Amino acid sequence: MTISLTEGRLTFGFPADDIATQYDEWSFYRNQFNSCFGGTKAVDFVYVDARALWLIEVKDYRRHARTKIQDLGEEIAHKVRDTMAGLLAARANANDADEKRVARKATAKHLIRVVLHLEQPVKRSKLFPQVVDPTKLQLKLRQLLKPVDAHPRVVNRSSMPHDMRWTVTG
């Protein structure tokens, strides 16, 4: 049995014995934390397994091109920073007992992993061009997130490493 979470057209299947949640939909994030500091950002999924806290952001550019002006690496770094702050605040102040429990387990981990799940058109075309070079983006994320995760990853459905215990379909 798995925990199934959906972001856009992608469905993620996480092992049922771990914790997986759609953090950007938490009531704590939406109703309490999001208005802090003039607004915050959030990664899509928080996943806690036996050894690590995984912060997972999902971007799917197969059908729609990126329209934001902000650099994608900087956007991900801000989401990671704000999510970590939100988890720490939820650990102490969340009203929902389950969100508080997940935040406690997440913030107790000594290893933090950052993953950008990036889907782009398989065939490059003028209509659906490749949005970013994953290699360059991974290098940028390493520079920005080094104190959090010295080895953040940029993956897609066909390049999932063995230590990522979840599946992606869609």
Residue-wise pLDDT tens digits, 109-127: 999 999 999 998 776 666 6
Give the pLDDT score at 128. 57
Is residue 28 pLDDT above 60, yes or no? yes
Nearest one of 90, 117, 93, 109 to 148, comparing CA atoms: 109
Give the pLDDT score at 126. 65
Could you tell me which residues are beta bridge partners of residue 11? 6, 169
Residue-wise pLDDT tens digits, 39-62: 899 999 999 999 999 999 999 987
Q: In the numeric block, which tokens belong to residue 105?
A: 């387990």
Residue-wise pLDDT tens digits, 10-23: 999 999 999 999 99
Is residue 69 pLDDT above 80, yes or no? no
Is residue 66 pLDDT above 80, yes or no? no
Residue-wise pLDDT tens digits, 145-159: 999 999 999 999 999
pTM: 0.92
Buried b (16+ CB within 10 A) or exposed e, 18-29: bbbbbbbebebb
Strand order in 10-15's β-sheet? Answer: 2-7, 10-15, 167-169
- Residue 24: φ, ψ to 5°: -70, 0
Is residue 24 pLDDT above 80, yes or no? yes
- Assign 2 to helix, strand or coil: strand
Give the pLDDT score at 129. 58
Nearest one of 144, 160, 152, 156 to 73, comparing CA atoms: 144
Give the pLDDT score at 125. 64
Q: In the numeric block, which tokens belong to residue 31?
A: 């109703």
Instruction: Report the 10 Å Cβ neighbour count for 97.
Output: 8
Residue type at 75?
A: E
Q: How far apart are CA 51 and CA 160, in angstroms?
A: 18
